[in-house]
Amino acid sequence: MIPAFVHDLLSALRRRGLAIGVDDCDALRDALAAGIGWASQDSLRELCVALWATSRDEATVIRAVFAGVGAPTWEVPLAPAVPTPVPAAVPAPAALPREAGVPGEPGELRLEPLPGPAAPAPPGGGGLPPLPLLTGRDPTLVLLPQFPVTERQVAQTWRRLRRARREGPATELDADATLARYAATGLAAPPVLVPPRRNTASLVLLLDRGGSMAPFHDYVDHIVAAIRRAGRLDSLLVGYFHDTAGDAGAAGLLAELPDPFDASVDAVLDRVAPLHDGRLYSDADLTVPLPYAEFLEAMTPRTAVAVVSDAGAVRGALSPARILDTVALLKTLTRRAATVAWLNPAQRHRWGGTTAEQVARHVPMAPLTAAGMHQTVDVLRGHPPVVERPL
């Protein structure tokens, strides 16, 4: 009989994206059978952390979830110095010691054998059911961020952004070339070496910051951190901006629009010049400027650029000037043959009638979800995007 909190713990952890399976439960059972984790609630919690966590963040998640599932509290004054020998029948983790502190039997643990499938439930250890003890902390106050995509999903998606090329020192044996040379010359010569293949994909992330993006800051930071940790990219440059990366001087062009009530700016689109000077920052607080020239240097045909911005969709704003400024930035990127895609944290149904809808006519835009990032990486890998009016 497994206590209810174990079930709660497992399902809560699985909901948070920790892939705890049967094997992992088995490992917990083995460890309990070997006499580990019985000393107190804390030691059981640390046992779960040691077995199931694979990073510091996951350890925090497990500890926090553990605090919230209402596990019983107990304390065995003396942990057994010699672990109990492994019994033939593995005891169920059900037999948690009742409120220990019972005088006379310090450190003694009761291990009940696993009941057979048809066996009736054991009569509760022959005492009163354990009272819920006050632990001094309110489990509802243990809060943890939980994002729509897990770090693992981000890693899986962005690892697909690969451009393998042979680069660097020649260390790998080219067997075919070696044999061909030997066959052609008949001389024993050193083997032919070629450089190993490595990922040369470089990614530039342009992140909109402040204003309507404020609710998404933590989420975007989580994704950027995950890409940085797990993306295996040749280089990653992160630039921050607020609303637009610079003023394209488009005010004059707006006056020439034939129909001021038409949201699209196609009539003057060709006359928007690429953005030659812009304002980008290298920190999230927009205090340390990122030299625009340095940013432009990073734009090569191998560079993939992902812009993360709501483009006015959160507040439902439509600003022709912002469209032109954005187009100017996008033109800068496409002129240098970089591949560009746009990730919008606002949901797709909110794009209609806003700047985002117009921007999405010129650049592939996807929502900032697992599926959306998948599409974006497809575009950045070179899959030709379908947009209404390419720049």
Partner 1 sequence: MSRRHLDTSLRFDRHADLPATRIIERAGVVPPDAAPPLTVEVRREPYVASADLQDAVNLAITLGRPLLLQGDPGSGKTRLAHAVAYALGLPLEAAYVKSTSRGTDLLYTYDAVRRLYDAQLSQPSPPGGYVTLAPLGLAVARAMRGRRSVVLIDEIDKADLDFPNDLLRELDQLAFDVPEVPGLHFEVPPERPDLRPVIIVTNNEEKALPGAFLRRCIFHYVEFPRTAGELDEILALHGVADASLRAESIRVLRELHQLDLARKPGLSELLDWVGYLHLEGTTAREVADLPHRGALFKQRGDQVRAADWLARR
Distance CA 78, CA 76 (A): 6
For residue 1, give both structure tokens.
């009989």
For residue 71, give both structure tokens.
């596990």
Site string for partner 1, 174-193 (x = CB under 8 A): --------------------
Identified binder of partner 1 from the candidate list 51, 236, 257, 284, rule CB under 8 A = 51
With contact defined as beta carbons under 8 Å apart, do 61 and 20 qualify?
A: no
For residue 233, give both structure tokens.
């990219």
Distance CA 153, CA 374 (A): 10
Backbone angles phi, psi at 327, to 5 degrees: -60, -40
Beta-carbon contacts of residue 258 (< 8 Å; ≥ 6 apart): 267
Distance CA 49, CA 60 (A): 9
When asked if residue 35 is in the footprint of partner 1 (CB under 8 A), the reply is yes
Identified binder of partner 1 from the candidate list 6, 10, 44, 46, rule CB under 8 A = 46
Least distance from partner 1 to the Cβ atom of residue 273, Å:
39
When asked if residue 263 is in the footprint of partner 1 (CB under 8 A), the reply is no
Least distance from partner 1 to the Cβ atom of residue 144, Å:
17
When asked if residue 137 is in the footprint of partner 1 (CB under 8 A), the reply is no
How far, CA to CA in Å, does 146 sit from each of 13, 143, 214, 360? 12, 9, 17, 29
- The DSSP line for 81-128 is SSPPPPPSSPPPTT-PPPS---TT-TT----PPPPPTTSPPP-GGGSP
Identified binder of partner 1 from the candidate list 10, 13, 36, 343, rule CB under 8 A = 36
Which residue's CB is nearer to partner 1, number 61 or number 245?
Answer: 61
Span 68-107, contacts to partner 1 by CB under 8 A: 83, 85-86
Identified binder of partner 1 from the candidate list 25, 53, 370, 387, rule CB under 8 A = 53
Which residue's CB is nearer to partner 1, number 56 or number 349?
Answer: 56
With contact defined as beta carbons under 8 Å apart, do 239 and 204 qualify?
A: yes
Site string for partner 1, 227-256 (x = CB under 8 A): --xx-x------------------------
When asked if residue 27 is in the footprint of partner 1 (CB under 8 A), the reply is yes
Question: Which stretches of the chain are assigned E, i.e. beta strand?
Answer: 164-166, 172-173, 193-194, 197-199, 202-208, 235-241, 280-281, 289-290, 303-308, 339-344, 365-367
Report the Cα 118 to chain-centroid distance in Å: 45
When asked if residue 30 is in the footprint of partner 1 (CB under 8 A), the reply is yes
Identified binder of partner 1 from the candidate list 4, 7, 54, 112, rule CB under 8 A = 54
Question: Which range of residues in 51-59, 209-217, 260-268, 328-336 is near partner 1 by CB under 8 A?
Answer: 51-59
With contact defined as beta carbons under 8 Å apart, do 201 and 161 qualify?
A: yes
Least distance from partner 1 to the Cβ atom of residue 142, Å:
19
Residues binding partner 1: what is the number (CB under 8 A)? 33
Question: Which range of residues in 55-63, 110-118, 176-184, 321-329 is near partner 1 by CB under 8 A?
Answer: 55-63
When asked if residue 152 is in the footprint of partner 1 (CB under 8 A), the reply is yes
Name the site residues for partner 1 (rule: CB under 8 A). Answer: 19, 23-24, 26-27, 30-31, 33-36, 43, 46-47, 49-56, 58-59, 83, 85-86, 152, 155, 171, 229-230, 232
